[in-house]
């Protein structure tokens, strides 16, 4: 039997998804601020300190948990949506950028998942949301995006959002996968996470893939995204600030006129 609230859900959309959570009377879902999309009348919205889980254990526990989240740029508060009516009601949450919503039943994967610190979207009340510091020296020095991560603990449903296409992979005992740190959405607690140097002077100077990548070693389950939002944002920024060369002078000139460059 679950200790967390047991919720039903449906996911809508393909590349711009949202999740609709159906709540029985007195059931609650929690979400990051800004994830809310819409809800039926009869659901009460409340801003709470921390994640509202029983594991926080009083004011001191809440302060410690929320303080860790504040150190890595996360909000001190979350939003709780409770069905205060006598019939089933639904509330919907939307992903903040194009991609997929990843559904995780914590009861089925050992009660814990570790994910990128901005991947959490929403969950059933009772799921504990904390910060996971990777303790290995190499990870701490060179891990970048993968050094400080979020952990979700409990036996309820949790929803993550990821950008691009999402692949779910089950690693066998001892099986090793090398991956860009930004492409990691999350992994179960049994997976061993570390950082490895790419190596080779040409790779270091001209490879364009960074000096380090993550290694994930099984057993366990991992979720991988094809287009990290940081990579997409970097390309958009570079495109917007880089003065493009005219390609095939006539067409290039026309293109620049159409996008405004020709009038400067």
pLDDT digits (tens, 9 = 90+) for 211-257: 678 899 999 999 999 988 777 777 777 777 655 554 444 445 544 54
Q: What is the CATH number of the domain that holds 81?
A: 3.60.160.10
pLDDT score of 188: 97
Reading the block at residue 92, the tokens are 């919907």
The predicted structure's pLDDT at residue 20: 98
For tokens 């992994």, what's the residue? 187
pLDDT of residue 13: 92
Region 22-35 average pLDDT: 94
For residue 144, is pLDDT > 70? no
Burial class (CB in 10 A: 0-12, 13-18, 19+), 78: buried
Helix (H, G, I), strand (E, B) or coil at 210: coil
- Residue, of 55 and 240, whose pLDDT is higher: 240
Q: Could you tell me the pLDDT band of residue 153, with boundaries at 50, 70 and 90?
A: very high
Range of the domain at 107: 8-239
Reported as a pLDDT band with limits 50, 70 and 90, residue 167 is: very high
Q: What is the pLDDT of residues 60-96, one digit of tens each?
A: 655 665 555 555 556 678 899 999 999 999 999 998 8
pLDDT at 59: 58
pLDDT (0 to 100) of residue 258: 47
- Identify whether 249 is part of a domain: no
Average pLDDT of the segment spanning 187-211: 70
* CB 35, CB 77: distance < 8 Å: no
The answer to whether position 246 is within a domain reads: no
Q: CA separation (Å) from 185 to 159, 181, 212?
A: 11, 9, 17
Residue 252 domain-assigned (yes or no): no
* Within-domain flag for 254: no
Average pLDDT, the chain: 80
| Cβ–Cβ under 8 Å, residues 202 and 209 | no
Distances (CA, A) of 214 to 128, 194, 224, 251: 26, 6, 12, 43
- The structure's pTM equals 0.79
Query: Which are the contacts of 203, defined by CB distance < 8 A and separation ≥ 6?
Result: 209
In a domain, 2, yes or no: no
Asked, for residue 256, whether it belongs to a domain, the answer is: no
Helix (H) or strand (E) holding 167: strand 166-171
> Which ranges constitute the DSSP H helices of 32-90?
58-71
Buried b (16+ CB within 10 A) or exposed e, 146-162: bbbbbbbbbbbbbbbbb
Number of domains in the chain: 1
């Amino acid at each position: 039997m679950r200790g967390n609230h047991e919720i039903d859900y449906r996911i809508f959309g393909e590349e711009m998804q949202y999740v609709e959570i159906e709540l029985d009377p007195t059931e609650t879902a929690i979400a990051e601020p800004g994830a809310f999309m819409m809800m039926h009348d009869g659901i009460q919205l409340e801003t709470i300190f921390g994640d509202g889980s029983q594991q926080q254990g009083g004011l001191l526990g809440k302060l410690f948990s929320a303080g860790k989240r504040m150190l890595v740029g996360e909000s001190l508060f979350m939003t709780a949506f409770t069905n205060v009516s006598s019939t089933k009601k639904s509330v919907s949450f939307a992903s903040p950028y194009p991609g997929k919503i990843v559904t995780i039943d914590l009861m089925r994967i050992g009660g814990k998942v570790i994910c990128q610190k901005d991947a959490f979207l929403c969950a059933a009340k009772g799921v504990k949301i904390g910060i996971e510091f990777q303790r290995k020296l190499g990870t701490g020095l060179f891990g970048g995006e993968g050094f400080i991560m979020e952990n979700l603990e409990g036996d309820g449903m949790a929803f993550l959002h990821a950008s691009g296409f999402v692949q779910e992979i089950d690693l066998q005992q001892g099986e090793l996968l090398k991956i860009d740190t930004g492409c990691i959405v999350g992994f179960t607690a049994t997976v061993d996470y570390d950082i490895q140097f790419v190596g080779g002077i040409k790779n270091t100077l001209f490879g364009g893939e960074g000096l380090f990548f993550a290694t994930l070693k099984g057993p366990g389950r991992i979720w991988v995204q094809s287009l990290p939002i940081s990579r997409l944002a970097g390309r958009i920024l570079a495109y917007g600030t880089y003065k493009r060369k005219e390609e095939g002078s006539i067409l290039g000139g026309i293109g620049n006129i159409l996008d405004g460059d020709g009038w400067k």
